Structure 1
Amino acid sequence: MEVKLSNNRINLHEIPIVSSIDKNYVSIYSAFLASAISHINTNRNYKFILLVDDVPDYMIFALQKQVMHLSNVSLDVINMNNVIIKSNSENIIDFPRAASFRLYTPKLFPQYEKIIYIDADVIVMHDLAELFDVVLDKYAAVVLDYVINGQINTKKYKTLFVNNYCNAETYYIKYCGLNQRLLNKYFNSGVMLLNLNRLRKENIMSRCLIMLQDKKFAYPDQDILNVLFNGEVLILPQEWNFIPCSRTDYHFSYEITKQRVHAISCLKVIHFAGNKPWEYHKNIQFEELFWLFARKSVYYEKLLENKNNKIYKYLWILKNNFLLKLIKIKFPSLYLIVKKMYKKIKA
């Protein structure tokens, strides 16, 4: 069933802000929504668009309550079960299926020349209209991925990517096919201004979907976008996608470190891409700002329940267990079963 919640008061000069979620991320999106509408310009019109994967209607209507009092804001919903092709689930078992929905945006929105795509696990600290107004002739306006930059520049850093690739630089160069120039421009796909006109013209997203079917990636949609955009991106300052990172063993490039220091004084979007304030994590940078806006959301109590639930503590330990990561490499079929059990318990 497709649920579409429109607002006839919105005119043609709206700012489309697209996100993808499943039912596990409804409460988190609610906090994002609260933060975004706290920084809107009353002279602009904002259309929030949710691409959803099996989200119950009552949850959608609860989100709608958050924007009903605003004459220049609307919330539309597209049920992606009616749109997506069947994907190779083994290639994206570490990520919700909704993470790949951004790859469908050029065809989903032929009426738009460009859109803002933004993950649900963010807090907005600035008017998103400023991002939308960026002049764009490249595929996208994006922010360099601070964490990946640290992994690539830390030669001793080891983790399990795919197919026994444990070194970040080796994984991205030999497996993904990125050269050094593209590594230096590796971006995070959680906050993007997408040039839909150019993406449609060059059929980029269809090629992304083919790659998603054919090959496993550590960060499926993000790695693929970095490969196919081929550096044709406009790099935005770090404040537009600031990812808190407490790792002291990473080595970062001088340029990105300088940007980070500046970004803290003028944060526009905080992206909790690693540790999550609503899960079993402690001392996360800027988590107070997340809870500031979570209190304004309709799912505040649900977020608190998740934070204080001991089951989530053990799920977090399981998720980050090295043995589980080893099973992922050596016994992928068993890993898939464990992941399904994890998702079922969490749901």
Structure 2
Amino acid sequence: MMLKVVPAFSEKNIPIMFAASDAYIPHLAITIKSILITRDDIHNYDIIVFHHLIKKERQEKIIDLADGPNISIRFFEMGEKLENYDFSVREGYGAESFYRAIVSDVLQMYEKVIYLDCDLVVLENIAKLFEIKNPEGKCIAAVRDINGISATYINYESRKEYMYKYLKLNHIRDYIQSGVMVFFIQNIRNKYSVEQIIKESCKREVMFGDQDVLNKLYVGDILLLDMKWNVIVNVDRVKFENQYLLAPNEIVMQYMMSRKEPYIIHYAGTKPWKIPDGDFAELYWNIARKSFFYGEIMKELIC
């Protein structure tokens, strides 16, 4: 049976989708708690977690985070649901790899949906991201990927053909980071069939999984967000002047400005539960210390 998720609230509904694995449940708890800390009383927050084989008792600990009438947290088991789609071309990949490929089908009852990775701390009311304007009718919204862009300029000769000829980017600076996105569901459904999206998702040539799939599929159809909405932490304590040495100055300056007043911190690469004194790690630990999963997180740190 096909899964069709229905909005949790009839009005002022802010849908937020996660794709989670059991290993990331403690960190999902931190991200969701940060959303609840920064919410308002006007909107309703419809949190949707797609997963496969997360134990019921761990789901319930996340659901218990809902602390008001304007919060809904629901888990949807996706294992059997994926059997309704043909992913046979790309065997050997985990189920979570394909959740975003079918979002326009599974969440077709929504106009648009926020997608978040599970390694984030939200510092601004997420409803403001949902309310961004999209006058040109783009399919997705995301920020430029400072790390991916910088890495391409550092290894330009080896990566330019991939970026231009395979991903078909108009410019390297248009490469996006997929950890924080808005899917404009109805725009996607009007332009792309789920079969088209799945076919692209199953190709083996991509370097960086479904992030590259999203970059290629929606090239020219992406609304660029303020980089404050997805501030990537400094990777492994590399000095900024070395990490972004060859990136376009305009993008480096945007990134540096976003660090001064971030809306979302994204621990892509350097994880605070691995490097507790890393870049912006204190924001994660401020919430983690009060979490039910604190003991589990500490065990992960020690090991």
Could you tell me the TM-score, scaled by structure 2's length? Answer: 0.88
Q: Distance in 2 between matches of 1:296 and 1:204?
A: 44
Q: Distance in 1 between matches of 2:145 and 2:196?
A: 23
Match of 2:69 in 1: 71
Q: Relative to 1, partners in 2 of residues 1:234 and 1:264: Cα closer, same or farther, differing over 3 Å?
A: same
Q: Relative to 1, partners in 2 of residues 1:178 and 1:284: Cα closer, same or farther, differing over 3 Å?
A: farther
Q: How does 1:235-254 map to 2 (within 5 A)?
A: 235-246=224-235, 247=238, 248-250=242-244, 251-254=246-249
The correspondence for 1:111, drawn from 109, 112, 128, is 109
Identity rate, percent: 23
1:27 positional shift: 0.9
1:100 positional shift: 2.5
Asked if 2 retains the 8 angstrom alpha-carbon contact of 1:92 and 1:216, the reply is: no
The correspondence for 1:291, drawn from 280, 285, 295, is 285
Q: Distance in 2 between matches of 1:106 and 1:7?
A: 14
- The code of the aligned residue for 1:141 comes to A
- The code of the aligned residue for 1:232 comes to D
1:297 positional shift: 2.7
Q: Relative to 1, partners in 2 of residues 1:142 and 1:204: Cα closer, same or farther, differing over 3 Å?
A: farther
Match of 1:318 in 2: none
- The code of the aligned residue for 1:301 comes to G
Q: Distance in 1 between matches of 2:260 and 2:298?
A: 28
Q: Distance in 2 between matches of 1:199 and 1:58?
A: 35
Q: Deviations over 1:192-214 (max 9, x none)?
A: 11110011111255322112223
Q: How does 1:53-132 map to 2 (within 5 A)?
A: 53-67=52-66, 69-84=67-82, 85=85, 87=87, 93=93, 96-132=94-130
Q: Distance in 1 between matches of 2:110 and 2:211?
A: 22
Q: Deviations over 1:140-178 (max 9, x none)?
A: 111000100111111379xxxxxxxxx33233234x242
Q: Distance in 1 between matches of 2:156 and 2:219?
A: 27
Q: Distance in 2 between matches of 1:19 and 1:300?
A: 21
Q: Distance in 1 between matches of 2:195 and 2:249?
A: 36
The correspondence for 1:300, drawn from 276, 294, 297, is 294
The correspondence for 2:253, drawn from 255, 258, 270, is 258
Q: Deviations over 1:53-100 (max 9, x none)?
A: 111111100111111x2111010111111211363596665xx53132
Asked if 2 retains the 8 angstrom alpha-carbon contact of 1:31 and 1:296, the reply is: no
Match of 1:18 in 2: 17
Match of 2:148 in 1: 148
Asked if 1 retains the 8 angstrom alpha-carbon contact of 2:140 and 2:182, the reply is: yes
Q: How does 1:265-344 map to 2 (within 5 A)?
A: 265-279=260-274, 281=275, 283-309=277-303
Q: Distance in 2 between matches of 1:205 and 1:55?
A: 26
Q: Distance in 1 between matches of 2:35 and 2:252?
A: 27
The secondary structure found in structure 2 opposite 1:184 is: helix
- Listed as ranges, the gaps of 5+ residues in structure 1 are 158-166, 310-347
Displaced runs of 4 or more, over 4 A: 5-8, 88-93
- The code of the aligned residue for 2:100 comes to R
Match of 1:328 in 2: none
Q: Distance in 2 between matches of 1:28 and 1:7?
A: 25
The secondary structure found in structure 2 opposite 1:62 is: helix
Q: Distance in 2 between matches of 1:101 and 1:285?
A: 29
- The code of the aligned residue for 1:54 comes to L
* Bigger mean CA deviation after superposition, 295-304 or 21-30: 295-304
1:245 positional shift: 2.4
Match of 1:161 in 2: none
Do residues 209 (structure 1) and 207 (structure 2) align?
no
Asked if 2 retains the 8 angstrom alpha-carbon contact of 1:22 and 1:52, the reply is: yes
- The code of the aligned residue for 1:308 comes to I
Asked if 1 retains the 8 angstrom alpha-carbon contact of 2:79 and 2:95, the reply is: no
Match of 1:198 in 2: 187
* Bigger mean CA deviation after superposition, 57-66 or 247-256: 247-256
The secondary structure found in structure 1 opposite 2:60 is: helix
Q: Distance in 1 between matches of 2:33 and 2:255?
A: 25
Q: Deviations over 1:118-149 (max 9, x none)?
A: 11111101100000001222111110001001
Aligned residues: 293
1:234 positional shift: 1.1
Q: Relative to 1, partners in 2 of residues 1:6 and 1:253: Cα closer, same or farther, differing over 3 Å?
A: same
